[in-house]
Each structure stands twice: as structure tokens, then as C-alpha cells.
Amino acid sequence: MTRTPILTTTLGTLTLKNPFILASAPPTASVDGIRRGFHAGWGGAVVKTIHADGMDVKDVSPRFSAWKGTGGELLGFENMELLSKKSVSYWESGIAALKEEYPDHILIASIMGDTDPASWQDLAVRVQDAGCDAIELNVSCPHGMPEAGVGAAIGQNPPLVERLTRDVVRVATVPVFVKMTPNITDITLPARAAACGGAAGISAINSVQSIFGVDIESFEPQPSVGGQGTHGGYSGPAIKPIGLEKVAAIARAVPLPVMGIGGISRWEDAAEYLLLGASAVQVCTAVMWNGYGIVQEMNTGLLRYLEKKGFRSPDELQGAALPRLVSHQSLDRKDRIRPVLGLPEACNGCGRCVIACRDGGYDAIRLREKRLVFNPAACDGCGLCIKVCPAGALAAERYRV
């Protein structure tokens, strides 16, 4: 019997049309933007972080840097942007309007108060009275806000995370998610603290603290604001491996739903997050780069994948890869690979594998008359040669010792 899959996704007590949520960021900076996102097919949105009126939040110009591949594709993105430019009252009426127009979409209000928990409580009450489905506490912004004692300054301090979560949960009538910073050695500590404080779920990760670069002529850190710079937050494809590791760690440590974030631009990325324990995913940079419309391919691609794998919904994917994530010590030392010329016609004798193997430690590949010769006795099975081959000519052959 064939089972037709659906994209309906469970996120704690919330039900999403699909697991794709716009992250708190420029694509959710206005009511109209969120409206266009919902229209394009996103299952939910987290409003760009709403801050308490009166907090000193003013953006700099410019505030972005981008690392691109040779084909112009985005590899990594850095921003030094702060919070929403709209007032709390703008968002109160905006949330109410969006929920009236899109009752079946999940709308989450990201909030940030000042160092007084009462300002977080006040924001929480105002956004939930406006009708949001959930609240996300931004205790993870890596730039600007920590200097004022909030953002990642809270998220890096588990006792503060627990206390603030508890304070907000005390007044909240909707689920409270806490958004984690990856800029901490052990992310399970603030995640556990949020759970102890009564959080309904965890969002992870916010951007990765970074300095994008320095202009070696002028010495100006990039992006340069009037000749000076500061650290920012790194996002996009380059941070996906960091996000995956953090989400898997949280999923195993805390019995709460997790929204996976970081470098998701294709349905395959989302599937990886779900397989490592996320219940749903949030996307920012890929939307800024390619527009809200990317969600259509994400929805159809994920649906086809579910069908192919025999799963009924994204819920069934959740955590399916976690049992295979083991300690380094328990990895099988008897299962090994060796390189073989899988596509001989693709090899043009460039010698990249020879150099990588020799200067990467083993000297197990030689080029003789433009033909590769492998020395199995010297090969350590590291697999570097396969990774550096620009033509994809090498393949891994598995064997057991």
C-alpha cells in the first residue's frame, strides 16, 4: 500500500503547514514582507526581533559582507545588523492583522528587552495579546546587543537564561522558545537552562561571531563603517555544519522540540536538520539572497523525498539519524576506504590528488605518464585525494581489515 505523504509538521503544541519557517531577520522585518512570505508558501515566520521601546538600537551602514564562490554563489554571509526598526505598537497591530489574514500560518514573535526582565515580560504580554502563536527569546544576537548586556551576553550565561526564561514563562500564555547562540563551548548548558526555566522549545542557532576580513591596503576591518569595523554574525551555507552539530547536541540533551537554523538553502539541508532531531527549520540568508520563492522547491523536494523514503510526514524524519551519531571512540576502526579511479575518463592528470596526498602526509599516489598509480601500502585511507579531485574522477572503495 503506498502512503501519500503530507508536509504538516508538529512543533510541540503547534501545527505547521510545512516545516519551513522564515527566521527572525530582514525577510520578516515588516508585515508586508511576512505576508509575501506566507503567500510564497512558508509555513511560519518569526518576526524580526521586537525590542522594548526606548532601547538604543540604530543600525550602521554598510553592515553586510559576502563570501562568494567562483560562480557567484553565496558561501558565507556576515552582518552587523541589530533589531527591528518598527515600534512595539506597529507589531501589535501587524501581528493581529497577519493572524486574521493567515490563521493557519504560525507566527512567532521574537523579542528582546533590556537588562530588566520586566521589559521582556511587558513585550511578551503585548505580543501574545496581539495574537502571536509563540514567543522566541532572542538571547543570542552576537553583535552590538551584548555590549548592552543583552543578546548573547544572556545566552552565554546559563543561570541568566534560566532566570529570564522563567520570568517570561510566568506571564506567557503561548509557548516560549529560546534562541541559542553557537558562540559558546557547550550549547547544551544554556539549552538545559532554558528547559529548566520552562521553555516550550529551543531555536538554534543564531549567527556565528566573526570578523569577515581586513582590507590589507587600508587596514580597515570589513565591512568598514567610516574606516572602522567590529565583529559581526556569520550565516549562510558556511555555518550549516556548525548548526547541525549544535542541533544534534541539543536534541539529545533536552526533551523539547528544536527549530533548526543555520545555512539552510535547499530542502536537502532541511532534511538533514530534521534527521538530526529538529522538528522544523528556520531560514534567513538563503531568502535574503534568492527571495521568498525558494520555499516552493523546498516544499516539493521534501515531499518527493518523503514519498521516496516511505515516510508519511516530516515528523517521521525527526531524529532518525541520531542513533548513528556516536562517540569518536566507538567508531569502527576496521571499516576503511581506499581511492580507486571511479571515472577514468574524467581524470586529466592534473596531479592535485598527488600533491594533496604527498604534502598531506602519505605520498601514496604517483603520476606516471599522466596515469595515477596508487600505493596501497602507503595509503592511510584518509580520503583527502577524493575530496580534492576537481573532476570527481576518484571514488572510495570500502573494505574491512
Ligand X SMILES: Cc1cc2nc3c(=O)[nH]c(=O)nc-3n(C[C@H](O)[C@H](O)[C@H](O)COP(=O)(O)O)c2cc1C
Smaller CB separation from ligand X, 30 or 207: 207
183 in contact with ligand X (CB under 6 A): no
Smaller CB separation from ligand X, 81 or 167: 81
48 in contact with ligand X (CB under 6 A): yes
| DSSP per-residue letters across 180-224 | PPS-SS-THHHHHHHHHTT-SEEEE--PEEE--EE-TTT--EES-
21 in contact with ligand X (CB under 6 A): no
* Chain centroid, CA 80 distance in Å: 17
Sites for ligand X among residues 49-78 (CB under 6 A): 49, 77
Number of other residues whose CB lies within 10 A of the CB of residue 202: 30
79 in contact with ligand X (CB under 6 A): yes
Distance CA 384, CA 382 (A): 6
The interface region with ligand X, picked from 18-26, 67-75, 118-126, 359-367 by CB under 6 A, is 18-26
The CA-CA-CA angle for residues 50, 51, 53, to 5°, reads 120
CA proximity to 364, closest of 380, 348, 349, 344: 380
Residue ranges of E strands in 253-326 = 258-261, 280-283
Give the one residue of 7, 23, 123, 394 binding ligand X; rule: CB under 6 A.
23
Write the interaction track for ligand X spanning residues 250-289; mark x where CB under 6 A is met and - where it is not.
-----------xxxx------------------xxxx---
On whether the CB atoms of residues 228 and 193 are closer than 8 A, the answer is: no
Smaller CB separation from ligand X, 141 or 385: 141
Write the interaction track for ligand X spanning residues 108-147; mark x where CB under 6 A is met and - where it is not.
--x---------------------------x--x------
Q: Is 262 left (phi over 0), alpha (psi -120 to 50) or beta?
A: left
Smaller CB separation from ligand X, 314 or 339: 314
Instruction: Name the H helices within 222-293.
Output: 240-253, 267-275, 285-290
Catalytic option among 141, 347, 357, 379: 141
Distance CA 162, CA 198 (A): 8
Known catalytic membership, residue 141 = yes
The interface region with ligand X, picked from 20-28, 211-219, 270-278, 362-370 by CB under 6 A, is 20-28
- Which residues of this chain interact with ligand X, rule CB under 6 A? 23-26, 48-49, 77, 79, 81, 83, 110, 138, 141, 179, 206-207, 235-236, 239, 261-264, 283-286
Residues with catalytic roles: 141
